[in-house]
């Protein structure tokens, strides 16, 4: 892990006194991730994940924790934050905010099939609809305002052709955000980072079963179409080129629309939002590549991947969103 806070078994035993989760059995570190320290926690009652937050503060966390709690209560498969005896869902370990959540079944699928795509699309639609009465709000902290702030920082590192692509793409997103169709897009709490490694599947590769969505710590309120675009740009592409796999896209979008049909405004702005999703991750990967955080010891993601995706969404064929039957 890039940042890791070690904790003793005795300290976790003491922490469990604040919960009704049974007695401590075992604790094992999870060697993935660059934002938080994560551990598999076994008690006499079951399997959990203990997370020590290395970047987010206790003041920043309630939106994410309560959103997961809200979804889990509505049978959306997400890690369920466990409630302490005092009614809260955040604790402290090593002077850092800490949460215990239920452990979901399954593992991530690096090479999703159309069946995996359909399950992911259907579950994201269920997730969006389940947030309709969620009372808390928080903007997508990696949305347009962040792109505008960060783009000038990374532009000096780019050759002129790529600087032009970034500038033109950002100008497009600024302009579309002011239009009436954009303002009518369905909007609400969104995952905003639903890549294939943030979804777990049980079952077999040939007959997968949804395990659940994880890692909600980039979630925020945004257009639901942006959330779909982020996902399709990762789940349904050839990784070497960024071009779409048509059958994967069709399965993903058909499954989503079977739960929540797309609006006319969403169908109109679909190509633009696909470019927005590619731009968001291109900018963040450029920033992480050229200005890595001091604490980050894992190799940053290659920004050229999302450069290729953005190029494809600019000049390549884009399948239409399905219409309601």
- Residue range 4-23, pLDDT digits in tens: 788 999 999 999 999 999 99
Q: Is the dihedral of CA 9, 15, 17, 20 positive or negative?
A: negative
Q: How confident is the model at residue 297 (pLDDT cuts 50, 70, 90)?
A: very low
Residue 316 has pLDDT above 90, yes or no: no
- What's the average model confidence in pLDDT over 227-235? 98
Residue 294 has pLDDT above 80, yes or no: no
Residue 298 has pLDDT above 70, yes or no: no
Residue 295 has pLDDT above 70, yes or no: no
What pLDDT is stored for residue 325 in this prediction? 59
Measured between alpha carbons, how far is 63 from 131 in angstroms, rounded to an integer? 12
Contacts of 89 (CB under 8 A, 6+ apart): 65, 66, 69, 81, 82, 83, 99
Mean per-residue pLDDT over the chain, rounded? 94
Contacts of 244 (CB under 8 A, 6+ apart): 236, 237, 238, 312, 316, 317, 318, 319
Residue 90 has pLDDT above 80, yes or no: yes
Domain spans of the chain, in order of start: 9-102, 114-315
The most distant pair of C-alpha atoms in the chain lies apart, rounded to whole Å, by 60
Measured between alpha carbons, how far is 198 from 92 in angstroms, rounded to an integer? 25
φ, ψ of residue 20 in degrees (nearest 5)? -115, 65
Q: How far is CA 141 from CA 206, 220, 295, in A?
A: 37, 7, 21
Rg (CA), the chain: 20
Please tell me the least confidently modeled range out of 51-55, 98-102, 267-271, 274-278. Answer: 51-55
Residue 296 has pLDDT above 50, yes or no: no
Q: How confident is the model at residue 33 (pLDDT cuts 50, 70, 90)?
A: low
- CATH architecture under which domain 114-315 falls: Alpha-Beta Complex (3.90)
- Residue range 185-201, pLDDT digits in tens: 999 999 999 999 999 99
What pLDDT is stored for residue 1 in this prediction? 39
In this prediction the pTM is 0.94
pLDDT higher at 140 or 302: 140
**9-102 CATH pick, 1.10.10.10, 3.30.200.20, 3.30.70.100, 2.20.25.90:** 3.30.200.20
DSSP 244: B
């Amino acid at each position: 892990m890039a940042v890791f806070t070690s904790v003793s078994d005795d300290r976790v035993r003491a922490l469990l006194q604040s919960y009704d989760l049974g007695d401590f059995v075992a604790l094992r570190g999870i060697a993935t991730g660059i934002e938080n320290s994560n551990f598999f926690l076994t008690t006499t009652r079951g399997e959990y994940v203990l997370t020590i937050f290395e970047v987010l503060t206790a003041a920043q966390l309630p939106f994410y924790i309560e959103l997961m709690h809200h979804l889990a209560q509505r049978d959306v498969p997400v890690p369920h934050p466990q409630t302490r005896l005092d009614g809260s869902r955040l604790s402290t370990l090593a002077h850092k905010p800490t949460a215990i959540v239920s452990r979901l079944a399954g593992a991530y699928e690096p090479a999703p099939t159309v069946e995996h795509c359909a399950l992911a699309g259907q579950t994201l639609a269920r997730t969006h609809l389940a947030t309709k009465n969620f009372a808390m709000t928080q903007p997508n902290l990696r949305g347009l305002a962040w792109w505008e702030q960060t783009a000038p920082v990374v532009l000096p590192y780019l050759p002129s052709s790529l600087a032009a692509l970034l500038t033109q793409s950002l100008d497009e997103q600024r302009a579309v955000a002011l239009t009436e169709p954009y303002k009518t897009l369905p909007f609400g709490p969104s995952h905003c980072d639903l890549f294939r490694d943030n979804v777990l599947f049980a079952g077999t590769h040939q007959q997968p079963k949804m395990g659940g969505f994880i890692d909600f710590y980039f979630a925020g309120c945004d257009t639901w179409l942006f959330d779909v675009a982020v996902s399709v740009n990762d789940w349904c592409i050839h990784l070497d080129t960024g071009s779409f796999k048509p059958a994967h896209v069709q399965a993903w979008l058909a499954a989503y629309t079977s739960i929540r049909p797309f609006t006319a405004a969403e169908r109109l702005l679909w190509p633009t939002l696909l470019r927005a999703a590619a731009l968001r991750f291109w900018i963040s990967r450029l920033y992480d590549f050229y200005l890595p955080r001091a604490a980050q010891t894992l190799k940053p993601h290659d920004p050229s991947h999302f450069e290729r995706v953005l190029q494809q969404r600019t000049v390549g064929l884009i399948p239409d969103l399905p219409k309601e039957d």
